Amino acid sequence: ATAAALERFTVNFTITNLPYHSDLENPDAANYKTTRRVMNTLLDRLLKDSSIGPTFLGCQTTAFRYGPAQKIEDTGVDALCTYKTDSAASPFDRVTVYHEVSNKTNGITNLGIYSLDQESLYING
């Protein structure tokens, strides 16, 4: 058996009920730290309960950004998630994970207290 390796994938989406604020650019700001912690927890819960759950190690929010041009007041979220690969685990399938995240967020409409832009979810995209 081969040793487990660590692999990463990105998760990106836009929140429509979290107005973007410059605090979210500053890793030292209380608002950034709190929002990042909540986001990491929500993503971890979501993915622990998916097909990659057994090999999933966690997500770290890497950035908050302005939403897309037409909805600049929205907040975009970028996260980097880590999982273990080994010969026993099924290979990472971003399409499967996308569909699972979609289902668990009610068709990409909400994640915890946050409302999501349905067009905004990308897994490793």
Beta carbons of 24 and 76 less than 8 angstroms apart: no
Quick check: helix, strand or coil at residue 63? strand
pLDDT at residue 1 is higher than 80: no
CA distances from residue 10 to 4, 82, 88, 114, 122 in whole angstroms, order as listed = 20, 9, 23, 19, 8
| CATH (domain of 23) | 3.30.70.960
User: Which residue range(s) make up the domain with 118?
Assistant: 5-124
Among positive and negative, which fits the CA dihedral 6, 90, 56, 96?
positive
Q: How many domains does the chain divide into?
A: 1
For 62-82, the pLDDT digits (tens) are 999 998 777 878 999 999 999
pLDDT, the chain, mean: 92
